[in-house]
Amino acid sequence: MEKEYNRSTLESNIENTNTLDRHEIGKTLGQTDNPHSALKPGDDYTQTIKINPDGGLTADKDGLNVKAGNGIKVDSSGISIDPNNVLPKGMIMMFSGENAPTGWAFCNGNNGTPDLRNRFVMCGETLAETGESNSKASGSGNGKNFSKNTTSTAVSVNVTVGNTILTESQIPSHKHIGGMGYFSGHGMIYGYFAPGGIIFSKYVMTLEQ
C-alpha cells in the first residue's frame, strides 16, 4: 500500500522564497538596464555582460570575439601582430645578431637585396631613384673611415685643441738661433759662425741700395 505525503504550507513557502531570491539576483520586477553598469539584466532573471560594439569586441552564439585592426592577427594560436602588414616586404631595419630571423635577409647584394655593407642608408631624391653609390666606408671595427674627394681649394675645417703638455719624445730635434748679426752691405742675417767667417747664413732682410 502506497503512502501519500502532503507538503506543508511552510515548506511550499520556503521553496517559493528561495526561487524568488534566485530570480532577484538576475532581475527584480520592474528593473531596467543601468547605462553606467557593465552588467545587463536578462529577461530570464540572469545577468549578462554588455558588449560595446565600438570597443573592439563582438559576441555571437559561439562566444566573445576580438575585432582585429590592421596589423593584428587573431587565430587559434592567440593574438599577435601580422608581420605582412606591420613590417611590409622591402623594409630595411637595423639588426644585431649572427643569423637573420625567418623571413629576413642580410642586405649584402644577394637575392635582390641592396648592398648596404659599409654604407649609410640614404633616401633618393625621388622614388624612381634606386641603387647605391660607389662611395663606401673602409676598415673594420673602430678603424672605420670614409674618404671624400673634393676639388674645392677652400677646405672648411674647424679644429679645437685642448690644453696639453708635450713630452721630450714628442718634440723633434731642432736648434734655436739667438740674435742676429747686422751688416751694412747685406742687412740682418743669422747663421753659424766659425773662425775665419760665416760658414752658413741666411738673409732675413736686406737694405735697399
Mark residue 132 as left, alpha or beta (left: phi above 0; alpha: psi -120 to 50; beta: remaining): beta
- Which pLDDT value is given to residue 198? 47
- Which pLDDT value is given to residue 33? 59
Pick out the chain residues at pLDDT < 70.
1-50, 53, 131-132, 155, 177-209
- Which pLDDT value is given to residue 147? 76
Q: Nine-digit cell at 92?
A: 630595411
User: Strands, DSSP E only, in the chain?
Assistant: 39-41, 47-49, 57-60, 63-66, 72-75, 78-81, 181-183, 187-194, 197-205
Interval 154-203: pLDDT, tens: 767 788 878 888 888 888 887 776 666 666 666 665 555 544 454 444 44
Q: Could you give the residue ranges of the DSSP H alpha helices within 61-160?
A: 83-86
- Which pLDDT value is given to residue 45? 53
Q: What is the dihedral of CA 180, 182, 186, 192, to 10 degrees?
A: -40
Closest CA to 147 of 130, 133, 158, 160: 133
Give the separation between CA 23 and CA 15, rounded to whole angstroms.
12
Residue that is written with C-alpha cell 552588467 in the block: 39
Q: Could you give the residue ranges of the DSSP H alpha helices within the chain?
A: 9-26, 83-86
Burial of 119 (0-12, 13-18, 19+ CB in 10 A): middle
Give the separation between CA 102 and CA 94, rounded to whole angstroms.
15
- Which pLDDT value is given to residue 40? 60
**Percent composition of the chain: helix, strand, coil (DSSP 3-state, to 5):** 15, 20, 65
84 in helix, strand or coil? Answer: helix
Give the separation between CA 93 and CA 154, rounded to whole angstroms.
38
Residue that is written with C-alpha cell 511552510 in the block: 10
- Which pLDDT value is given to residue 175? 76
